[in-house]
Each structure stands twice: as structure tokens, then as C-alpha cells.
Amino acid sequence: MCPVYPVRIAILKIGGRNSSRQPRRCSRPSHSLLLSLRGAQRRGNLLSAGENRQPSASSKQVTWRVYYLRVSRIGAITPKLDRAKKHIRDFERIAGIFLEDPYVIGTKDKPEIAHIAFFIAAERTLFPADLPLIVGDAIHNLRCTLDHLVWQLVLAHGENPNEATSFPIFKMNIKTGQKETARSLARKTRGVHPEAAQDLELLQPYNTGDYALWHLHQLDIMDKHQLPLRTATYPDVWGLRRENVWLSSEGASLVWDVKVGDELWRFPASTVAHQEDNIKFRFDVAFGDPTVVAGKSVLSVLNGLANLVEEIVFKFERWLY
């Protein structure tokens, strides 16, 4: 069952009418009162426990009504999510500094095809060694957030978690004869309210067709061994006119795992002669092989996973009281 905390509310009665209602004392820290009484009552989390009338020094009659406020167990889950978000912010800050101007871009003629090639001539800044560690910590905290969710779902249902209690993530479809998947899912969610367990099963990638959870699970496993990151780039050439064609970075090929000497892009020599100042390259940090999200922007993937995990946690909030 969910923990229940008493809240004493003073109702000052003057002339038979309630003129004010003010929280006077609570046995828990003030964060327990962040939910408004009206909202808590609407959710069924505010339970009345009668009144106690007392005269005050000013001879006005004061009524103390005791309520019991049920507090969600979600507070035991979100710290891991908050920690993951902090790691993501740290990654964005450190990577942003590195990506401001990471390489010297050089050019070389390709007279045989009347083009000019742009390439990485030198490194301005070394790739930050802490980035893979920060990414690994963010991923692990996101995965742990889901495990903490199931743990609290079991407690909220009045059961005891065990060593197998965890958030299930399965890629295989149990409807295709994979009985082991069904047994594993039941083992991991034992003690969870049956309807909540059904919702957990509906979130599986084989039901949703979205493999983001599977990617999170695999990245967390891979981080135990190696989580390779690479620098990626693509041309940022909005508004560059070339032979009656307007170029843009939309749909441009991503060049990732760039290093000194790598050729980035080729443009006609006539275009470069007139528009060289408009040719820019945007850099990013991407996952490298052999990850399940190789070549994808790390920050984009992390933000997407964090949003997904947060959405899942609050989807189950009704089962956490």
C-alpha cells in the first residue's frame, strides 16, 4: 500500500461561516503539500478523518480537521531520471564546447572533374575523453529508472519484490511461439497489479513496433564493455546556389567517424569560386559501430530516450498509490 501522511488543516469559523483555510502543520516536509487539496481530493488521495473544535485565544472558534494525504511512490523513481537528465546536460555542454570549432577545413583541387574537395586538414581540439563515460552513465540511469518503476509497482500492490523484479524489454514476439519470452516477462513483473502488468506487456517493442526501448536496453549492456562515440559531420549549405539548384543540408549525407585527412564533400569549382564563404560544415557527436544506433546523433538519441522513459513512468503513476 502507498504511505499515508496526516495533514492538519485549521478552519477558522467566524459567524458560522468558513472565512479561511490555511495549512498549519504537517508531519511531513512541505513537498507533501505541493498537491493542492482540491487536486488531491479529486484524485482520491485526500481522506478526511473528522474534526476537533477548540476555542482560540481570541475567542473565535477554531476547527481542526485532520486529513490523510496519500503520496505517490513516484518520488522514489524520479531521482534516477533526474540524474540521467543531468548527465545529458553535461554531455550537451562539453560536446558543445568541442563542436564549436573542432577541425581545420582544407581544400584541394580535383581538376579531372572540375571540382574542389573539402577535407579535414587538422584537429583544433582533442575529442573529450569524458564524453563516452557521461553517455554511459546517462543510459544506465535511464535503464535503472525503468527498473525502479517496476520495483515500486510491486510495493504499491502490497507485494514483495525479488531478485528478478525489473522492467522487461523483449524484442521477440511471444505470439510466435516464444514461450520463454512470456515466462521471463511474467517472472520480471511478478507482484505487479495485473492491469499494470498488461500495460507493461503492451509497451514491448514487438507490440509497439518502436525499438527505442530495445536500443536503450542494448546500449546499457554495451556500455559494460565499450560504448564507441565518433565525430560526425554534414554540409550546412542553406541558400547556396549551384547551377540553378538550391542546395541545403536537408537530406545531405552524414559523414561520420571523421578524422584528419578525410574528405567531407565536393563542389564544382565554379560554385566554390563564387560561394566559398557560404559553405559551412556542421559537426556532431554520433554513436559508432557496433551500436544499434550507429551514426545517429548522441544528444538526439539521449533526449529521445529520456522523454520516452519519463512518459512511461508517469503513465503508470495511477498504479503507484
- The tens digit of pLDDT for each residue in 162-214 reads 999 999 999 876 555 567 788 899 999 999 999 999 999 999 998 999 999 99
CB 222 within 8 A of CB 211: no
Look over the chain and give the mean of its residue pLDDT values, rounded to a whole number.
Answer: 78
Ranges 71-85, 128-142, 236-250, most confident: 128-142
Res 41 pLDDT > 80: no
Q: Residue 297 carries which DSSP code?
A: B
- At 178 the pLDDT is 63
pTM of the entire structure? 0.74
**Do 283 and 232 contact (CB within 8 A), yes or no?**
yes
CA 277, CA 273: separation in Å to the nearest integer?
9
Grid look-up 572540375 returns 114
Residue 36 has pLDDT above 60, yes or no: no
Report pLDDT for 314: 94
pLDDT in tens, 228-240: 888 887 666 544 4
Q: Is the pLDDT of residue 94 over 90?
A: yes
